[in-house]
Structure 1
Amino acid sequence: MTRESSLETRGETFFLNLRFMLIVTVFVANAIEPLILEMSGLHTLYQWIFSFHMPLFVLVTGYFARKSLNGAAGRKVLLQIGLQYIIFQSLYSALDVSVFHVNNIHYSFFAPYLLLWFLASHAFWRLLMLGMSRWSKSAQFAFAIAAGVAVGYLQLDGIWFSISRTFVYLPFFVIGYHFSFGAFVKLYQQYVKTAAAAASLLLLVGMGVLGHYLPLGWLYGSMTYMQLGAHEWYAGVFRLAVYGLQFAASLAFLGLVPYGLSRMTDLGRRTLYVFLLHGFIVRAAAVSGVYAYIGNAAGAAVLLVCAVSCTLLLAQPAVKRVLNPLVEPSVDWVISLRRAAIRRSL
């Protein structure tokens, strides 16, 4: 095995480990959200998670996208993202109306349903990277930062087409796409990795002490400056500051991620199933009234254990075997229809 292929294999292992750790934080954050205004400890945990988990998830997505961005492979991925979006946007919306009876949600294919913003933005990130393919890396990153700051000035609701998060998190997709695992390994020697891990845990403590000075809306990335109540012309400076926090928090969290191949690595291959399905569990728990019985540290601990356990459950191979047609729908029939249409037009 050549040095390059060895680094590529190690990099894939590292990012699969990271991906599973991140999906755990996604499930935990969504599970504890109904309680963050009532329990300060959960609010601190929630804020700490939001300081890095979406930026890093976008970075990981960019890292794995470089193998399938162009050509037939890229078109196939875009088609599959589109089908996933249609399927789960329909499912979640239908259940909200018929079973969960949830109010105050935009039911429109142009307004991604809660967690499904990631699918819409993923498609746009790929298209944007294709459009920037002839630019230098520095130009791509400069544009991504500028667009992330500028989108906040738009006078509209940032959820439509997931326009706000698409541009706010574009810098992390660009970084992931060009990420050099070799350079990362050289930098993150054991003592640096340990220091980064310690910094991440220190940030958790810091969030508990100073987190009330940072409104959560700035960490969501889904709102414009108008919606965040920042009407000043220099509101973009606040976003640059939040970028600084997210970059630092992400670098720190990477110190907690193991390099080695393990059971976690295999689980990291099926995080899509956790991501697309966990919303049903969280929504069912919310409407069941179970949160009314969680009011102390013991109840919060049980909730955290349940969230991690459900993450492990949804990442099992059996779930993939049963739900593969739903979560990873085949797009071959779409491609066949397109080819047939082209033949008929000739």
Structure 2
Amino acid sequence: MTSPPDATTAPPPATAQTVVPKVRVPFWDNARFVCVTLVVVGHAIQRQTADSDNALIVYLFLYAWHMPAFAIISGYFSKTGSPNARQMKKVLTDILLPYVIMETIWTLVQFLVEGKREFNPTQPSWTLWFLLALGIFRLILPYVALIRWPLFWSVAISVGVGYFDNVDTTFSLSRAIGILPFFVLGWKVREWGLIDRFRVMDRQAWWLRLSAVGVLALWLAVVVAFLPTWREMDLRFWFFYDRSYEGLGEDQWWGGMFRLVCIALAVLLSAAFFVLIPRHETWMTGFGQATMYIYLLHSFVLYPIRETGILRDENSSAMWLVTMILASIAVSIALASPAVRRVFRPLIEPKPSWLFLDSDAGGRSKTDPTGSRRDAQTGRPGR
């Protein structure tokens, strides 16, 4: 049983003359907005983690699962069939072109502020790694779908790549491979029909929501209880999935086992997070339709704050931590506003019809590469 369409009335049945409209399901937009806002929070408080235990607690609590949850959503809305011309164009217009544009802008900014004279698109600047990872995921998913036990192999590859120093951050390859299991898990959740089978779109039972709160609270308690250990071993870098185990200071054979624990922890915490996301339309639902703008633009807002060093020493207090968290929420809302979207649409959603052999630049572009269009009749992602 699927949740009712996101509309006041049911759509007409599909016929040869009737095209079933695609509507957005509030749950996914709510989840995406919360995820991207947590990304902004994590980047905003990162400088404070060196001097503030409170900041490190929040940072470790979030980084254990918030990007894996984002990757799960991306996988859920990805297609596995052989890509047609329109879909291949959308990889260019939704992912690769925004990446090149934003990487060029970042190079100019770093030249003007830091005097850095280097343009190297093979090494993504700061937040841009996820765009390249999405591009890699979309390109390989049709092949992944052909093999048996794809989820098992994605986990095995993610764990195994940590033993190789020569797989690095070039084109975000190490990080893409590291978080691949979450993307594949999202796709398999759709393939298995778990959303419908367990009626995920329905309001969750109180005991399940209480259990989800308990899971997240337990992880927070573990972070607080063993904080000196986590700081000493630089646990936060394990949650980046972008370094070899030797690069993380652990060249023992069990390094892979620890990554496996991180993956299992991320899945558990992500599941708890999804249980707590509102199923109905809320104040943040509309903002969840523009998470691409938040993700790509927030780094320019935070860059001056990070580089001035004002979030160190005495400015790493709990008051400053709360201030930065609230400011991050405000930044997310502002960057998803219609005014900002109108101004920056040519950069975030380029439509270069001149680039292609025909006039179709890939159809109407989306405001988020994860995609959340769902068929109003089946409740499944649009094909």
Same fold per TM (> 0.5)?
yes
Q: CA RMSD in A?
A: 2.6
SS state at 1:178 partner: helix
2:168–2:243 CA contact under 8 A, matched in 1: yes
2:130: which partner in 1?
118
Bigger helix share: 1
* Distance across 1 between alignment mates of 2:81 and 2:295: 20
2:196: which partner in 1?
182
* Distance across 2 between alignment mates of 1:66 and 1:12: 18
- 1:119-134 pair list within 5 angstroms: 119-134=131-146
* Distance across 2 between alignment mates of 1:102 and 1:285: 19
2:81–2:142 CA contact under 8 A, matched in 1: no
Deviation at 1:53, TM superposition (A): 0.6
1:169: which partner in 2?
179
2:159–2:259 CA contact under 8 A, matched in 1: yes
SS state at 1:228 partner: coil
Deviation at 1:52, TM superposition (A): 0.7
Range with greater deviation from structure 2 (90-99 or 121-130): 90-99
1:222: which partner in 2?
242
More relative contact order in 1 or in 2 (CA 8 Å, sep 6+)?
2
2:4: which partner in 1?
6
2:348 is equivalent to residue 327 of structure 1: yes
* Distance across 1 between alignment mates of 2:109 and 2:185: 37
Q: Which amino acid aligns with 1:143?
A: W
2:302 is equivalent to residue 282 of structure 1: yes
1:107–1:113 CA contact under 8 A, matched in 2: no
SS state at 1:185 partner: coil
2:223: which partner in 1?
207
* Total equivalences in the alignment: 333
Deviation at 1:314, TM superposition (A): 0.5
Deviation at 1:189, TM superposition (A): 3.2
- 1:23-62 pair list within 5 angstroms: 23-62=36-75
SS state at 2:345 partner: helix
1:344: which partner in 2?
none
Deviation at 1:46, TM superposition (A): 0.4
Deviation at 1:193, TM superposition (A): 2.2
SS state at 1:111 partner: coil
2:30 is equivalent to residue 17 of structure 1: yes
- 1:229-248 pair list within 5 angstroms: 229-248=249-268
SS state at 2:350 partner: coil
Deviation at 1:19, TM superposition (A): 0.5
* Distance across 2 between alignment mates of 1:19 and 1:68: 24
Deviation at 1:21, TM superposition (A): 0.5
Q: Which amino acid aligns with 2:357?
A: S
* Distance across 1 between alignment mates of 2:6 and 2:242: 33
Aligned mate of 1:270, from 268, 278, 290 = 290
Q: Which amino acid aligns with 1:40?
A: D
Deviation at 1:101, TM superposition (A): 4.7
2:373: which partner in 1?
none
Report the identity percentage.
27
Q: Which amino acid aligns with 1:239?
A: R
Q: Scaled by the length of structure 1, what TM-score is found?
A: 0.88
Q: Scaled by the length of structure 2, what TM-score is found?
A: 0.80
Range with greater deviation from structure 2 (268-277 or 314-323): 314-323
* Distance across 2 between alignment mates of 1:149 and 1:289: 35
Q: Unaligned regions of 5+ residues in structure 1, if any?
A: 340-346
Q: Which amino acid aligns with 1:172?
A: F
Give CA deviations for 1:214-237 in whole Å, capped at 9, x if unaligned: 421111111111211221233211
Range with greater deviation from structure 2 (246-255 or 119-128): 246-255
* Distance across 2 between alignment mates of 1:82 and 1:161: 11
* Distance across 2 between alignment mates of 1:234 and 1:298: 39
